[in-house]
Structure 1
Amino acid sequence: MRWTIKPKPDTSKVNELAKALNVDTIIASLLAQRGIETFEQAKKFFRPSLEDLHDPFLMKDMDLAVLRIQKAITNEENIMVYGDYDVDGTTSVALLSSYLQTLHPQITTYIPDRYAEGYGVSYQGIDYAHDNDISLIIALDCGIKAIEKVAYAKTKGIDFVICDHHRPGNKIPDAAAVLDPKREDCDYPYKELCGCGVGFKLIQGLASKKGQSIEDLLPYLDLVATAIGADIVPITGENRVLAYFGLLVINESPRTGFKAMLSQVKKDTLTITDVVFIIAPRINAAGRMKHGLDAVTLLTEENLETALQYAAEIEVYNTDRRDADKSITEEALAQILQNKEEDRCTTVVYKEDWHKGVIGIVASRLTETYYRPTLVFTKSGEKLAASARSVKGFDVYNALDACSDHIEQFGGHKYAAGLTLLEEQYEAFKRKFEEVVTSTIDKTLLTPEISIDLPIELEQISPKFYRILKQFAPFGPGNMTPVFMTEGLSDTGYGRCVGEDDKHLKCKVQKNGIAIDAIGFGLGTKQGTIHNEQTFKAAFTIDENEWNGKVSLQLKLKDIN
C-alpha cells in the first residue's frame, strides 16, 4: 500500500471556518479539503436542499426533448422507453416509464438482451418498435454513439430522444433531442450526472410544464440514488442533493420493489454503501443472469405480494451470479499464473465459455489481486466481448482508444469500459494494450494508494466528533469517507486474527493512556506488526460497533505499518 497525505489546507481559512461554524479545526480542515471554505458553502453541504438542483432547461436540447414528448402524448403516439441492462439503465427505464404512465397510457419498456443484442441501442430493438407501431424511442444511459442506429430508425419513421452521460464521439446522433451534459456544446452547470440522473432532469422538465413541483418528484429519487451509488459517479454538487433525498426515500417510504428486496435484510438505516452492496447487485443480477427487464418489472411493481415473488426470483439470479463470479475469478487467476503474466502492467484474460454477465465483476476482482488495468474477454456470438477496469489515476478509455485499430467497438468511462473485437485480433490487441499502458502509466499508480485526509490523535476521537463526521454523508467519489492516520500506537496485548482462514485482524490500539477497539478486514497477515508491544502507525476510518446492545466507536483499519 502506498500512503499519501492530502495537502494541508490554508490554516487561516481553516481557523475562520472553524470559528464561523463553531467546530474544531479537524472538521474545518476536512471541509476545506472538499472545497468548502465559507459558512454558506458549509450550509449547502450539511443541509442539502432541493432548491439547489439546477433548472433542467439549462441542459442542451431539453426544450426539444420536452416538446417532442409532449407532441407524442398529444398525438397519442406509442412511446418506447429504452435502457441499458445494468443498474443505471434499468433504474432509468423504471423512473421514466413510471412517470410517463401518469401522463399517457401508451408506454412500453425495452431492455436489450445482454447476449443476443449487447450493449446500447440495437437494431433488434428498433425493429421491435417498428413492428409495434412505436414512433418515439427515449433511450437512457446509452445512445450517444448510436449514429447509424438513429439514422436507421429514421428510415422506419421512428424518432429518438437520447438521455446519456457517456462521452460523445466526434459526431452527435441526428435525434429529435440529445441530452448529455458531457456534450461539448452543453453548458449545463453539473457534468457528472449518471444516466438515471439525466432521466430525472427530463421528468423535471416535463413536470415543470405540467405545473408540478420538485416535491412531487421525490418518490422517484430512490431510483436515482441507487444509480448514483452503483455507477460510481462523484457524490458532489447536484448528485449529492439527489443521493441525499433518494436515501431518505429508501429509508422512509421505499417503493414496493425495494421493500421486497429489503425484506430479508436486517438493517434499520441504509447508507449509500448499503445501496451499492445490497440493492444494486440484486438489480444487476437480473440483466447478468437472465434479463434486465425483470429488474424493471420489480422496480415498477406496486403489489407487495407480486413484488416479493419477483424479488425471490432475483435472489436466485444473484446467488447464481455469485457462484459464476467465484469460479471464473479462480480460472482467470490460474490463467495468469500459467501464462507467467504476474509481472506485466496489464491483465488480459480470455476463455470462450465465461459467463458474459459477470466478466465486469471478475475484472474488478482481478484488479484487487493484481493492481493494474484489466480486461476480461469471453465469446459473444462471432466476436469476443470484454469488460475493462482500471486503477485510480489511469484512463483506460484513452488506452483503449490508442488500440482502436484492433477493436470493433468500445465505450465507457475513465475507469470502466466495454469493447468487442474479432477473435483473430485478440493476441495483437493484447500486445498493443500492454505496450500502450506500459508506455503511458505512471508506475506508482500500480501500487494501491491509501489517501489520508489528516493525522489525528486518539483523544480527538469522541462521540460528538463522530456525530459531525456522519453528517458528511452520503459518501462516494469526490466525498469519500475521511481517512485518518495516527502514529506511535501499540496493541493492548489482545490482538488476534479472526474470521475464515484468520483473514481479519481484531485488536485494541492505545496511545497516551487512551484505548479504542479496531478491526482490520483482510489485515490478518499484519498480526506480526502489532506483537510484543511494538509501536506502529495506522490508517483508518471511524465507525460504530454494536455488540450486545451497546454501541461504541471503533477504528476500521485500512493498513498498518
Structure 2
Amino acid sequence: MPEKRWSYKPTPSTESVVELSQAINVDKALAAMLVQRGITAFDEARDFFRPKLEHLHDPFLMLDMEKAVTRLREAIENGEKIMVYGDYDVDGTTSVALVYGFLSTFYGNLEYYNPDRYEEGYGVSVQGIEWAAEQGVSLVICLDCGIKAQDKVTLAKEKFDIDFIICDHHEPDDTLPDAVAVLDPKRKDCPYPYKELTGNGVGFKLLQAFCTRTEMPIESLYEFLDLCVVSIASDIVPITGENRVLAFYGLKKLNENPRIGLKALKEVAGFTTQMNIENVVFVLGPRINAAGRIKHAKAAVQLLLSDDYDEALEFAHEIQKHNLERRGHDSRMTEEALAMIEGDEWLANTAKSTVLYREDWHKGVIGIVASRCIEKYYRPTIILTKSHEKAAGSARSVAGFNLYGAIEECAELLEQFGGHTHAAGMTMPIENIDAFRLEFDRVVSKYITPEQLTPVVTVDLKIKLAEINPKFYRIMNQMSPFGPENMQPVFATENITLKYPPRVMKEKHLRLELFEEETGAILTAVGFGMAEEHLERLNTNKYFSVAYQVDENTFNNKTTLQLMLKDIKYS
C-alpha cells in the first residue's frame, strides 16, 4: 500500500465561524466543522443537533404517492392478496420486513418474497411473478428494485393481471415500468426534495402516506425505525436530511427497545454496548447480508419479523453460521487473490488495475474480496468467478475514479454490466477474460491519476491536542449519527512527540502516549494494524504529525478520551 496523502477540507471563512461560534456558544473548531457541513445559522444548528420526526417531508411530495396509497387502500378494502417483494441484500430484506411487518399488524392476506441470488439474480424475476400468480396475488409492492423491470411488470399485468407499486431508489431509465405507481425520488420528473433515501426509506414514505390517509397513528409506524437505520447504514447512503432523522431515531430504537430479531442478532454477535452507524455496518449488516450470500435471504426476513425470542435466536444462530461460512470464503479467497497478484510480475508492478478469475470462487463474496484487494493494492479491482458457464464479476473503485465509465469502454467484451461510479457488476464469456483484463487496464491507465492511486485521509481541521477535552468530545458527538457526507471528524495535529516509548499490542497494534510540548497536553492514541509500518520510524523520528479521530475508551469502569490514529507523517 503506498503512503497515504492527506487531503484537507476547505477552511471556512473566519467571519462565518466566529458568528456561529458566538450564536451557539461552542468553540471555533466545532463551529468550523459545522460550517463545513453547510450549517451557518442558529436555526440550522438547532435542527442539526436536535433532529425531529416532524422534520420529515410530506410523503405526498413524491410523484405517484397518491396513486400508490389509493391502490393499496383499494386492495385492503377488497381483501386482495398483496405480495411484498424485496431484493436479497440488507436494504431489500429490511424493506420487506418493514412493509410486510407493518401491514400484517392489521391485515392478514399477505405474502412476501425475496429472489434467490443464484437462481433468479437481482431484481424482479419471472419465477417471483409466477409464484405470485400461483398464490392468487393481485398487487405486488416492490422494494429496493423494480425501476428497470419494464418487461417483468408488463408480463405480470398482461399475463396474470397483477399490479405493481414500485418503491425504488436506483437511477431509472428513460422509460419507466408500466406500474400503478413508480415511487423513486431519483425520477427526473419527481419533485421530492430529498433524493438519497434507501429502498427501505421509500417504503417508509409509502407507509407514512398510508397512515396520513387512513388516520392510523403514525407512532405505530415509528416502531419500525430500527429497520430503517439498518438499511441506511448498510446501504452506505448519505446521512443527511431525512436519512439523518430516520437514522437518529432508528438508533434510539435499536439501542433502547429493538425488535426481537435484531436483539437476538446483537446477542449472537456478542455485541453488548450502544450501537452507532459503524457498528450497524460491521456487526448487523454483514450478518443479515450473509443469509442471501450463502443460502437464501428469506432467513433474514424471518429473523426480522419474528416475535418470539427463542425462535429469533434460532434464526440468528443460523444467520451467524452463514456469516462464519461467508468469512471463511472471504478469508480464503482474499489470500488466493493476493497470491495471484504477487505471483504475476505485471499485475504486481506494472498494472494500474486488478482483474482476477477463478472458477471455484464463491459468487456471493467476490465484491468483498475486491474491496479487500484494494486495501493492499489501491487501484480499481474486478473479481470474477464462474456462474452458469459465464464469468460473473464484481468491481470496486478507488476514491475519485469513475469505474462504471471505464467498464463501459470495454462493453464489446461484455454480455451485460451495470452499476455506478464506485461499484459495478458484469458478465462475460469466459474466453474474453484475458482480453478484458488488458483492455480494462488500458482504459484505467488512460484516465487514472497518480493521486487517485494513492489512498486518501480526508482531514477536517488542524487542531492542538490541548483543544481536546470532555466538553469538546461531547459536543462533537452530538453531530452524530456519522456516515457518508457527515463523517466522524478527522483532525490533524503537527509537531507531536512521544511521552514514553511506543507499545505494541497483540504484535500488530500501536499504543502511544502523545505529547504536545507547546501546550503540555498528553493523550493516548491507538493505531490498529500500524506497528509493522510505523514502529521503527517512531523510534527514529522525534517529531511527527498525526491524523486521528477522537473517541472514548472505558476500562475498569473508567472512561477516558482516546485518539484513534488514521495515519502518521514524519518531519
- Per the shorter chain, which TM-score range? over 0.9
Q: Distance in 1 between matches of 2:131 and 2:473?
A: 54
Structure 1 equivalent of residue 93 of structure 2: 90
2:191, 2:324 → 1: CA distance?
44
AA paired with 2:408? D
| 1:106 alignment partner in structure 2 | 109
Give me the whole-angstrom Cα distance separating, in 2, the residues matched to 1:328 and 1:188: 43
Cα deviation for residue 276 of structure 1 reads 0.9
Partner of 1:123: 126
8 Å CA contact retained: 2:501, 2:539: no
How do 1:147-546 and structure 2 match up within 5 A?
147-156=150-159, 157-264=161-268, 265-340=270-345, 341-342=347-348, 343-499=350-506, 502-512=507-517, 513-524=520-531, 525-531=533-539, 534-546=542-554
C-alpha separation in 1, matches of 2:389 and 2:239:
39
Contact 1:491 1:531 in 2 (8 A): no
Unpaired runs of at least 5, structure 2: none
**Do the aligned partners of residues 434 and 45 (structure 1) sit closer, same or farther apart at CA in structure 2, a change above 3 Å counting?**
same
Shift in Å at residue 533 of structure 1?
Answer: 6.3
Q: How many residues align?
A: 559
Measured after TM superposition, the shift of residue 53 of structure 1 is 0.6
- Where does structure 1 differ by over 4 angstroms across 4 or more consecutive aligned residues? none
CA–CA distance in structure 1, aligned partners of residues 148 and 255 of structure 2: 37
Matched letter for residue 109 of structure 2: Q
- Structure 1 residue 266 displacement after superposition: 4.2
Looking at structure 1, the residues matched to 534 and 351 of structure 2 have their Cα atoms a distance apart, in angstroms, of: 26
Change (3 A) 1:346 1:118: same
Q: Structure 1 pair 151/438, CA: closer, same or farther in 2 (3 Å)?
A: farther
**Residues 140 and 338 of structure 1: CA distance in aligned 2, closer, same or farther (over 3 Å):** same
Give the whole-Å Cα distance in 1 for the aligned partners of 2:201 and 2:405.
25
- In the TM superposition, what is the alpha-carbon distance from 1:404 to its structure 2 partner? 3.0
Which residue is 1:81 aligned to? 84
- After superposition, what is the alpha-carbon deviation per residue over 1:40-99, rounded to whole angstroms, capped at 9, x for unaligned? 110111000111111111111111221222222222221111111111111011111111
Contact 2:386 2:392 in 1 (8 A): yes
26, 34, 59: which one aligns with 2:62: 59
Deviations 1:431-460 (A, max 9, x none): 332233222333311111001110111110
With normalisation by structure 1, the TM-score equals 0.97
Deviation of 1:267 after TM superposition, in Å, equals 2.5
Q: 1:431 is paired with a residue of what secondary structure?
A: helix
Structure 1 residues 207, 445: closer, same or farther in 2, change over 3 A? same
Q: How far apart, CA to CA, are the structure 2 residues paired with 1:139 and 1:400?
A: 29
Given that 1:493 and 1:531 are in contact with CA atoms closer than 8 Å, whether structure 2 keeps it comes out as no
SS of the equivalent of 2:209 reads helix
Counterpart pick for 1:70 among 64, 70, 73:
73
Q: What is the CA-CA distance between 1:144 and the residue it aligns to? A: 1.3
Query: Given that residues 166 and 413 in structure 1 are in contact (C-alpha distance below 8 angstroms), is that contact kept between their aligned partners in structure 2?
Result: no
Bigger mean CA offset, 76-85 vs 20-29: 76-85
The residue type equivalent to 2:203 in the other structure is: G
CA distance in structure 1 between the aligned counterparts of 2:352 and 2:540, rounded to whole angstroms: 38
1:558 aligns with 2:566: yes
> Deviation string for 1:301-354 (max 9, x for gaps)?
001111111111111111111111000111111222233312322211111111
Q: What is the deviation of 1:184? A: 1.1
How far has the Cα of 1:415 moved from its partner? 1.7
Aligned-pair distance for 1:175? 1.5
Distance 2:29 2:406 in 1: 39
Give the direction of change, closer, same or farther, for the CA distance of 1:402–1:77 in structure 2 (3 Å limit): farther
Separation (CA, whole Å) in 1 of partners of 2:248 and 2:164: 32
What do the CA deviations read for 1:154-208 (whole angstroms, capped 9, x no partner)?
2222222111111112321121111111111111111111111111111111111
Question: Is contact 1:235–1:474 with CA below 8 Å preserved after alignment?
Answer: yes
Decide whether the 8 Å contact of 1:166 with 1:412 is kept in 2: no
In the alignment, the residues of structure 2 paired with residue 475 and residue 355 of structure 1 have an alpha-carbon distance, to the nearest angstrom, of: 32
Looking at structure 1, the residues matched to 144 and 433 of structure 2 have their Cα atoms a distance apart, in angstroms, of 28
Residues 189/176 of structure 1: CA separation in 2 closer, same or farther (3 Å cut): same
Cα distance in 2 for partners of 1:401, 1:56 equals 36
- Asked if the contact 1:372–1:390 (Cα under 8 Å) also holds between the matched residues in 2, the reply is yes
Alpha-carbon distance, 1:421 to partner:
2.6
One-letter code aligned to 2:338: L
3-state SS, counterpart of residue 144 of structure 1: coil
Structure-1 separation of matches of 2:149 and 2:258: 35
Matching residue of 2:144: 141
**Displacement of 1:529:** 2.5
SS in 1 for 2:236: coil
TM-score by length of 2: 0.95
Change (3 A) 1:34 1:531: same
User: Separation in 1 of the partners of 2:66 and 2:445?
Assistant: 46
Conserved 8 A contact 1:141-1:196: yes
C-alpha separation in 1, matches of 2:89 and 2:554 = 34
Which residue is equivalent to 1:40?
A: 43
Unmatched 5+ stretches in structure 1: none
> Aligned partners of 2:521, 2:384: CA distance in 1, in Å?
52
> 3-state DSSP class of the match of 1:130?
helix
